[in-house]
A and B are shown apart, each in its own frame.
Chain A
Amino acid sequence: MDPANTAHTAGAMPWEDLVPAALLGTDRRGGAAPEAVLDAAAVHTVRRRAGLRAGAVAEPPEAAPPDERARLPEPARRRLGQLLAGRAAPAPAGGRRGAAPDVAELLPQWLAAAGRHGYKAPASALPALLDAARARTDLRPLALAFAGPRGLWLARQNPEWRFALRGAAGGAALPPTDDTEQVRRLWDEGLFAERVALLAAVRAEAPGAARELLASTWATERAEDRLMFLDSLRAGLSDADEDFLETALTDRSRNVRATAAGLLSALPASALAARMADRAASCIALDRTGDRTGDRSALVVEAPHECDAAMQRDGMVPTPPPGRGERSWWLGQLVESAPLSCWPARLGGRSPAEIVALPVADDWQPELHAAWCRAAVRQGDAAWSRALLGSPSTSSLAERAKLLATLEEDERADWVAGFVSAHGLSEAFQLLGVCAVPWAGPLGRAVVDALDIARDAGSYPWSFSGVMGLAERCLDPAAAPQLEALTTLATESEDASPGAAGYWSEAFQRLVSTLRLRAAMHAELAAP
């Protein structure tokens, strides 16, 4: 704002004389009475303020790119406001969470559903959305996808949201994957994050084109970039990638070599897989001599005695981590990388289940089964996963969760339901986490039954708070009516923990109201 250009001076003194007089003091700056200085300054001040004018116009910012997605229905917009406002709510102290749902926990689900419906974020919610994404890295992909091009435009202007400009969010500016010229230019000139996003996008549309793009500049890429690019071939991996991966086996970088070998071993028809199969087969044999009284076959294991150059070229790591023997370390890598399809032929035409059931000599069983688990996960082999899930030696829940992920959704849910029914909830958390949301009917019923049993047993609900929290987010909202009965206050049995009945009633109330809230959320988003 410019002060009005006054043609004549106001008051008795010009402003230029007033300021030094007031600043240094009229005693030192000659003569004027302080009152006269103040009178004149008052006139100047009011005059300056009254004469203010609008200032010069600056270069306007580049406009945010348009977002063609549909606008949120009004109730959903209000719900988003509520979820974002509840985001900062601190968790209540102690184990007791009360009967009210934790709205912040529903934000990821809401964002995922809004994304599936193809809505764009309301502009007014973008700052809160970006703040939420900054605070919670797990929210970032969903929040940034929902925030869309205007969210990125906004993030560019605030250093606190710089995180949004890194990584996958750069994908907003990707050219169409069939525009070879633009793809070529971005691949040659783009920033690393843009190139990773581009490669992933092209790979999703045309796996071969992505591989050729990568091969065209492979020799000049930096080692850590080669590793990231190579990893993007994991999506849509096929036998057509084998030649390229074979050349990567001779890469200067050990990590690149290992990644290439890992990818090749996931291709059962590859030459590397065949080499690994030969090596693995020479280590494991069927032994019928152990028990002469019947058909009591067993597996005998002869672990490798060396890790030669050829093995290392195929991605095997020669030095074991501290605390592990060299030979068992090599065996594990061999079996893990060998195609599972080689075993039935090698072991008398047995099925995966029969092979897993065979006794293993000399305590090699944990080592062998663990390697098969890793192979089943890497090769996505449902039959082997099924067999290994049933094996008692597969004790690690983390391994089981990974094996479950190779099964179809329904089978996975059924398996976990069976596990919960048999073993209760104390170990089910990780397994429940890999099941599809909302949980299938039988799985949901098994979890609710198990919670009911835990209540009858007289323990406190916060012993199961992890599963409770998962159930709030994952149970099918249709289960709410059947849960109602559990919200009533049960009479306390003598051996129950004091007050437990009340806490359980509260916990079930929270479960029911969270399910209702989720049902309302989804209904609001589905509204036209």
Chain B
Amino acid sequence: MKNLFIKGILFFMAVLIVPTIAFSANFIQVKGSDTEVNVVQRLAENFMKKNPNVSIAVTGGGSGVGIAAIINKTTDLANSSRPMKDSEIAKAKANGVNPIGAVFAVDGLSVIVNPKNTLNSLTVDQIGQVYRGELTNWKQVGGPDLAVTLYGRQPNSGTFVFFREGVVRGDYSGKMNQMNGNAQILEAVKKDPGGVGYVGIGYVVDDLGKVASGIKVVDVAKDSRSKAFTPLKLENILNGSYPISRPLYQYFDGNNRAKVEAFIKYELGPEGVAVIQKDGFYPLTDQWKKHNAQIHF
């Protein structure tokens, strides 16, 4: 019964996909992270202008969706704002996919609050307590007397996973509103004086490098003894003083490397970096350059 069902789906997909591939060998499908979708879309547009014979389609859905797609061979490139888990890599290998993750940009994951909130900085630990639901009023961390409303992402989001592993280190409070994307978190925090959210830096910075109106980016300190740093300054990311910066990955199938190599090289080149920085994200630190060198980029 199940086999029949799977075969049916595979047949259906084959009918849909085979002609697409046959007619456009230069078609690259990119799926995944909601944090990366805008910047990769822009990179793809610029790349297509220079290479008119290639067409690239970029869609979001969340890192989990992208990773599931690379495992199931339904995408060429999976945008992911978190590394693939060992179990996911094993599953991909079992499926005949050899997933390789290039890092094309660095994100200063930003904690945002409403400008009416007088608070300017938090420690990683305090953010964790807030998101675990242990602190429910801003005055408990030195802010105004206002109830906290939590805005976060859904479990298929890489940002949800990264923030949970790195900052919350426990389960999110059951009261957290799980929003569909970065933009929705931004809009909710704009309207909610007690709201707090986390989004990729690309969503808080506009084309001119200014913070979007209606929100405030909180400075974050590693612990109570250290100074708090803002994710808005390049050097804080490059020298690692902002504690919740993270690499943005793009996973591809190593057995099918040729298809995406030119695009990834373009992203890592000077023109790509210019686009990435214009969107608010940061170029690679030495650590991630080394990572890429290991996989021959």
A and B bind: no
A residues adjacent to B (C-beta < 8 A): none
B residues adjacent to A (C-beta < 8 A): none
